Chain A
């Protein structure tokens, strides 16, 4: 995990080394300065030696300047190293995600990927900066101060050593206990946020049933639960400060007492006692800092693990060594195909699929939810690999093609489709980056999208909001079809892509396809019989198997499922009518 992450430091190695270097230098000056401060008092002020004050004062200012320089450099490199590291992590993850296959994507949820790219990276960035700036500084500062203390007086300094060990043990114990509660609290916190989300999206139901007070009551209970558990966690954390103070104060008093005795016995100078007392704060503060670093680090371990999971994920699909770049034609053949999302024959969703579809044919696919229609067509553009058997396009196994070329020539309009923020033209040009406006218009005409686009105030330059929220479902579907058409594909797959389009427009699109792109093989998945009944042939899917394959008339005569569906839908079909929308 650490190795995976460390590999992303890349060009910021220099900064990553310079930061602790300057921080350590700063510490050295910081440790020396109290020494000089003591000297000003002992040898300057006490004896009235102005010359000494001037010399040491000048030296101190020089050191302060040097310290300032180191501090600024440390801050600069620390910022650069950590933000640069974060940038590289984000970039590397994003680039790796781009290589993910559908199977990889299914493994991580969308929300999970977003959190990894955002919150988790930020956590790591903060932890890394802490690590560079403090992780060396604090221990070294502590060791330096301790060293100086021992240098001044070993006997007195051993008081610190005892205190440090004692404090370390107590802090470790407290942190461990607090962490336990924190780890309990975070999932609860997520739950609470999930419940807010639930409430916001279901607000119409809440209001319709007048359940505002009920919801508030439910929320308050969960909110109180979080309060309780955070209280428990913080109760432990809050002990840190007083315990630390207790140790510092005890040390001060102990040293004062012992120091006084030694001064009287003339084994210690007064200035030395002052320095020792100054180091006291230094040593214990640094210990505190180390404990904080520890807390931060352990909290970011989870983030680090999640990020490295994404970085280490290898795409489950790879290009063949000598790929084919051209799909000769739109012929499709399934040979003894078995497919499972888990890669084994158990839990297979497709069984024993054998099909042959000629180039230019229009094929309808119909079947209940869960009958694996989508799973079957996803194999054609190699969004997933078959578990057994093979899928051929244009006479070659899909695994022989370059994936990008294959997908450009086998266009899929996904069931869960999205438009991206940008103008309509920009969205269309996803299909073909250098499509002219005329080509875009033509594709929209085919997909019957031209009518509503032209009615929009900015026409083809209308800005689509993120997620396509400013166009209706039917409009979105037609834009997605147009976008796919721009690829000029050999095979076009529509996965329930006209469900929100009215029957008349649906028919119009199909007629346009037959007229304008006769050589493209067209596969149309639909719930409505009317969308498929005019296809050349229709596949009836049931439970991952092909239940029937033939023309409308043949299936009506021979296929029970098809007949049932047909009968339940005839007589005008449905009124899910979406024409005339503007």
Chain B
């Protein structure tokens, strides 16, 4: 592969699988501890019943059939009694088996649900930075692929291992009772089996991880090429693509072939080693029994041989679970990694409350009053101040970089009086969007201060801060649900009238009424059935219904045609009325009547002033405005 891979291949190595396993067990036990305890008991019962049955078959000939053979009047009574007794045991065993399998579904599905829910609710608390720095495909894969590996492990591997362990212990005990020397022989053979399994499994897990890596590369290539397939056509690059794909595909085939081969042979190897173990025991046991050294009778030897067989089976079964456990550990590692991601920190204590005025003073009110204030409890003396929410924003010497070593904003100062309209103009990468990311604290600044109604924004609780800011982004995002639901996103308890009023304000009412089900039309796939302009209008309506004192608007993109654009523009204009507005401007009409225009370049404000002032300066703004900019 020339050059570094775009994405790190997933799941190549697991660090500290033991720790992850323990944590996973703890996680399952947290909600299903009692279930697991019951399951353990039930498995125990079911295994016991099974062993009981095996014991019966051992004794069937010696204790029940043999006496009848020598007796002249065979009495079937004891046999009938034994069969009934064993039937009883079996019945209990079957009931227990059903019960634990049934409980395990709840445990498995419930744990998966908890994993999903915990992942999601934790994800909601992560800072925007997390989403900006992680590929969405990787985030998704945690919910799908990684959660899937857990299902396999919890529902199958775990009970299987536990079941096998109990079987092994109980059979082992029975074997010890029958003959110690033969048990030793059996154990030696088991050691050989384990050694063989370890050897094969070790090799196979290496190829398995290699296969996952190759699969990641192949899938990455497929994804990239399918996305760019039309470009491939236009450039007649099909042949080159096929050759490259053949190479990657062959790599995957080779590692997958080896991985599967090794997994496949674990079963036969152990099964046949088990048969060898049987023969060895028969021979050793035969010699012992005939020489009469260790008190081993022929009857006991026969029983022992059967136990030998039932001892080898669970060992074989456990060894076959090995790979699914390796995969599950890799999946669990990624799941826990996401759950461990640091939450968005919020040390704010200033909150937003409803107020009313009584005797010239602001007083907190439990009901919606239409007036808001910041409730500022001073940390020194716990006295409480109320500052009315007006929407004044001040930036003082703000420095900011997405990473500490690369600043994108330098010494930004700006001052917005309540109700003013501030426009940002400048090239992409100049830092326009970044400034808006700072006001609502999607990102925190490295140096300087941002004050909101005179309060340092760091002191304001993030939720309250954001509630007071309306934002319309350039890339509109809509949610699956009805049109009304989408507008109501801005104010969950809004009445139908409020929804239509907001839509009317945003010029969205007209097209909504033309949709097949009007306000109840269901949108899917980020509003795929709407045009870009219509989606923008809905986003404006959504901001309108929230009725925030401060607005941040990122104007529509260039891909909207001119007529739609003027409708969108009009909607935005109506929304801006009477609010402090920060607008990232692309259009002249927006900028012209701004109270202040900031021209940004490479993270600095290089010019500021009203439209007329800036034109007079004949600087960068003038160049942009007249369209005679000279590219730098």
Contacts and interface: CB of A to CB of B under 8 A. Distances in A.
Contacts of A214: 492
15 contacts: A30-B271, A53-B286, A54-B283, A87-B249, A87-B252, A90-B218, A113-B229, A200-B123, A202-B477, A249-B94, A420-B228, A499-B558, A527-B559, A577-B427, A580-B427
B349 interface: no
B480 A198 contact: yes
Nearest to B245: A94
A501 B444 CA distance: 30
- B contact patch SS: helix
Given A242-B98, A418-B227, A463-B4, A75 B124 contact: no
Given A78-B264, A270-B61, A220 B224 contact: no
Interface stretch (A147-155, A223-231, A293-301, A337-345): A223-231
A97 interface: yes
B76 A261 contact: yes
Contacts of A418: 227-228, 231
Contacts of B513: none
Given A46-B302, A273-B60, A411-B234, 7 more contacts: A41-B302, A53-B283, A72-B268, A212-B125, A216-B120, A367-B561, A500-B558
Nearest to A205: B477
Interface string B48-92: 000001001100110011101100001010011001001100100
Given A45-B282, A90-B218, A210 B467 contact: yes
B234 A383 contact: yes
Contacts, number: 453
B400 interface: no
B627 A422 contact: no
- A contact patch SS: helix
Interface in A300-322: none
Contacts of B93: 245, 249
B232 interface: yes
Interface stretch (A59-67, A168-176, A323-331, A514-522): A59-67
Contact of B562 (A37, A101, A569): A569
A53 B283 CA distance: 6
B285 interface: yes
Interface in A529-582: 530, 564-565, 568-569, 571-582
A578 B233 contact: no
Interface in A433-480: 433, 448, 451, 463, 465-467, 472-474
Interface string A47-90: 01010011001001101110110111011101110111011001
Given A261-B76, A472-B428, A527 B561 contact: yes
Contacts of B440: 207-208
How many chain B residues sit at the interface, stated as a range, is 35 or more
Contacts of B562: 368, 527, 564-565, 568-569
B6 A466 contact: yes
A553 B624 CA distance: 24
Contact of B626 (A57, A76, A572, A581): A572
A133 interface: yes
A420 B283 CA distance: 68
B588 A203 contact: no
A191 to B, nearest CB: 8
B278 A48 contact: no
B301 to A, nearest CB: 5
Nearest to B285: A45
B315 interface: no
A194 interface: yes
Nearest to B441: A207
A407 B233 contact: yes
B113 interface: yes
A209 B109 CA distance: 32
| 4 A-B pairs with the lowest CB-CB distances in the bound complex, closest first | A71-B268, A75-B264, A202-B477, A79-B260
A107 to B, nearest CB: 12
A496 to B, nearest CB: 7
